[in-house]
Amino acid sequence: MKSFIPYDSSCDFPIQNLPYGVFSTPGDANPRIGVAIGNQILDLKAVRHLFTGPLMKGQQEVFAEATLNAFMGLGRPYWQEARQTLQKILSQDDDTLQGNSELRSRAFVAQADAKMHLPAHIGDYTDFYSSIYHATNVGIMFRSKENALMPNWKHLPVGYHGRASSVVVSGTPIRRPKGQTQPVEGADPVFGPCRLMDFELEVAFFVGGAPTQLGTSVPASKAQDHIFGMVLMNDWSARDIQKWEYVPLGPFGAKNLGTTISPWVVTMEALSPFAIDNFPQDPKPFPYLQHEDKYNFDINLIVDLKPENGTPSTISRSNYRYMYWTAKQQLAHHTVTGCNINPGDLMASGTISGMASDSFGSMLELSWKGTKPIRLNDGSTRKFLQDNDEVILRGFCEGDSYRIGFGECKGKLLPTLDA
């Protein structure tokens, strides 16, 4: 399958991908829905009349919206038909767009000329803790090797409810927070800027399908109908604030200071060729968490750290395959108590770490709680993030002469405000 839009094999956005995002331009400040292809954006508002399939012909106006929520809410048959239409009109064998120079001039925008926005209105955001190697590392650091995983961890996908209002799109600066910490164990707390600022390498999925009703649940075997697509995510974390505040109710201010996501939502249809065996689970989960299909994915994940005025250093290479609990199990557990979900809700994986030390997904692990400094390309070292450091996450699946990429998820850590 080839597109008439040119790109090379290292491009994140070939015709096999076609992720959705929301963008604006200097000439039109109104946010609108687009699809990434090569280094271009196809403006779906400009071509919505081309969605003439039996399902989408009556739903064309969802592509005139300023967010993806309405389209997400239509459900999988609509998403699949829209993907088929997009691949057809972007194909080198179709003249609908390729042969219409006037429409082409209106419909395509260079990504370099666009401003990206959050792809959806995020009503609710939940963060899980589903990578077994990350959970084990943290358990060893703060408890012991023999007691690394809590008794519940292999029975259910542990998670907490995050703050949707502070989820921001890639490129948004993040301010170093202030808060209470306890620098000396057993001493009184102090107030001031966070000293142990960290990133967390995560992948999150957007909920789709019709809203569910309060009191109903979605079993894992049917959860695919409510998973629209995935983005990269950096769950910025203030470790010293977290350590003091998290007992007994879990993370709060240490996590609500900002959460960065990549702007392009890679659909589950685009990821399906890269599905791999689910992580072996022992003990066997309860029936509501069981599903037979493969829903783990071979997604390469890379973290670069760029000091101010410096060059990026790759400090971690991980993979989504290290997830113990699948996205379907996460959604099933989220709803099993009767919690209702809505299109545009965001659910995140938790930090994704592998077995090797260079595949750890946070500074906490990479520096092993600050005991092993990380050396950067310029010779400087880090235990935790310094002011004006920029963290850049990348992710992609490798196909046969093509890749399914997520683009970048980046943010710069700014100094604490004095006021």
Per-position DSSP letters for 89-158, written without gaps between them: HTBTT-HHHHT-HHHHHHHEEEGGG-EEE-SS--S-EEEE--BHHHHHHHHHHHT-GGG-S-TTTTTS--
61 is in an annotated binding site: no
25 is in an annotated binding site: no
- The helix, strand and coil proportions of the chain, stated in percent and rounded to the nearest 5, come to 25, 30, 45
Q: What ranges in 261-375 are assigned the alpha helix state H?
A: 268-271, 327-335, 363-366
Cα gap 44→285, rounded to integer Å: 42
Catalytic positions are: 134
Cα gap 405→53, rounded to integer Å: 27
Token readout for 243 is 């350590």
Token readout for 283 is 């003990």
185 is in an annotated binding site: no
242 is in an annotated binding site: yes
322 is in an annotated binding site: no
Q: What ranges in 147-196 are assigned the alpha helix state H?
A: none
Token readout for 336 is 């099993």
308 is in an annotated binding site: no
7 is in an annotated binding site: no
Cα gap 251→255, rounded to integer Å: 6
143 is in an annotated binding site: yes
255 is in an annotated binding site: yes
Distance of CA 137 to the CA centre of its chain: 22
235 is in an annotated binding site: yes
- Under 8 Å between Cβ of 152 and 345: no
48 is in an annotated binding site: no
Annotated binding residues for Mg(2+)? 235, 255, 259
Binding residues for Ca(2+): 127, 200, 202, 235
* Binding-site residues: 127, 129, 143, 200, 202, 235, 242, 246, 255, 259, 351
